[in-house]
Amino acid sequence: MRARNPAAFIALLLLGSGIIAGRTEASESSALHPVCTYSIVAYDSTTGQFGAAVQSHYFKVADVIWVEPGLGAVATQSLVDFAYGPLGLEMMKNGRTAQEALAGLLASDPNSSVRQVAMVDRYGNVATHTGKNCIAEAGHRQGRIYSVQANLMRNNTVWDAMAQAFEETQGDLADRMMAALEAAEGEGGDIRGKQSAAMIVVTGEPTGMSWLDRIVDIRVDDSPEPLAELRRLLNITRAYDFMNQGDEYIAWKKYDEANEAYARAAELAPGNPEILFWHAVTLVSVGEVERSLPIFREVFTADESWRELVPRLVDSGQLPDDKAVILSITVQ
């Protein structure tokens, strides 16, 4: 019996199952979207988290990264076929490895020579394709549980710099991916310049609640400095995580730990009155009015509108229906 081409065989199976029905039309319609860029897909074997991050001189580059908790991550770029994202995840959901999913999609794509795609699955398998007709400089580098890839770069050192930064940076998955993006820009980045960036990190095990599963979900669609803005948004994401942690400590009456968490939040988002205000509100809600007053005072000094908001929180149950308490907050 003549041996089958594995990639073509997978593609035939997928076509037969309806997973990539209509793929030819999708490929043709998206063949000339020049979302040339650099990106990373990664898996954290300790936490089970998946992540993807990207930057490009193209509007809304967030559309090229696809991540699902407990499943995997995909980045699809160059002269892009956006369908690689959802179809790749669907194939992994149906039991295909990253390598099998990518091989099947490439076999069904008449324009695979201009695609650049990377996938990582829940077993840590990594698959990457840089088509022979991707615009130079183009290339990729795989690590044990990640892949970095780039095309239309100023220099052919970009992907190696990304890999080195990811491997050497300390911190969580988001920190390491951010370092990889910044390293790419440090090597010259996209020859056209900068415009948009995005990052997604999801939990290892899906909870069924997307707002909990997406640990980081930030995007910069149009900016002269997208990576600086992405870094700022990552800091704000972490600030609100610390704020929520502080609220939990308050509920447990662990005031020292709460103040430490709120302080970290304020450090990550300096000048953000929202974080300070809700810290103070949380203190009042557990009877710590005196602790709250200097925080309220700092917020009111920055913007009097927050003082006006205080009485409105009584009807919603966020502050006690106690005139003396409300006056002590507002008349200072």
Lookup: tokens for 176: 């390491």
Position 10 pLDDT exceeds 80:
no
The position carrying tokens 């009485």 is 311
Position 34 pLDDT exceeds 90:
no
Percent over 90 (pLDDT), the chain = 81
Taking only the tens place, the pLDDT of each residue in 36-59 is 899 999 999 999 999 999 999 999
The position carrying tokens 């009155």 is 273
Q: How far is CA 158 from CA 28, 77, 117, 181, 326, in A?
A: 30, 16, 16, 9, 57
| Residue 113 DSSP class | G
- State the pLDDT at residue 2: 35
- State the pLDDT at residue 32: 57
Q: Cα-flanking dihedrals φ and ψ of residue 53, to 5°?
A: -150, 150
Domains of the chain in sequence order: 6-224 (3.60.20.10), 239-330 (1.25.40)
Taking only the tens place, the pLDDT of each residue in 130-188 is 999 999 999 999 999 999 999 999 999 999 999 999 999 999 999 999 999 999 999 99
Helix residue ranges, H only, the chain: 6-17, 23-30, 84-93, 98-107, 158-168, 173-186, 210-213, 226-251, 255-268, 273-285, 289-302, 305-309, 312-315, 323-330
| Residue 257 DSSP class | H
In three-state secondary structure terms, 42 is strand
The angle that helices 158-168 and 173-186 make with each other, rounded to 10 degrees, is: 150
In angstroms, rounded to a whole number, what is the distance separating the alpha carbons of residues 25 and 129?
A: 21
- State the pLDDT at residue 18: 42
Position 16 pLDDT exceeds 50:
no
Contact present, 58 and 195 (Cβ < 8 Å): yes
Q: In terms of pLDDT, which residue wins out, 7 or 70?
A: 70
- State the pLDDT at residue 8: 40
Position 96 pLDDT exceeds 80:
yes
Q: What angle do CA 82, 83, 89 make, to 5 degrees?
A: 115
In angstroms, rounded to a whole number, what is the distance separating the alpha carbons of residues 114 and 315?
A: 59
- State the pLDDT at residue 25: 43
Taking only the tens place, the pLDDT of each residue in 199-248 is 999 998 898 898 899 999 999 999 999 999 999 999 999 999 999 999 89
Q: 12 CB contacts (<8 Å, ≥6 apart)?
A: none
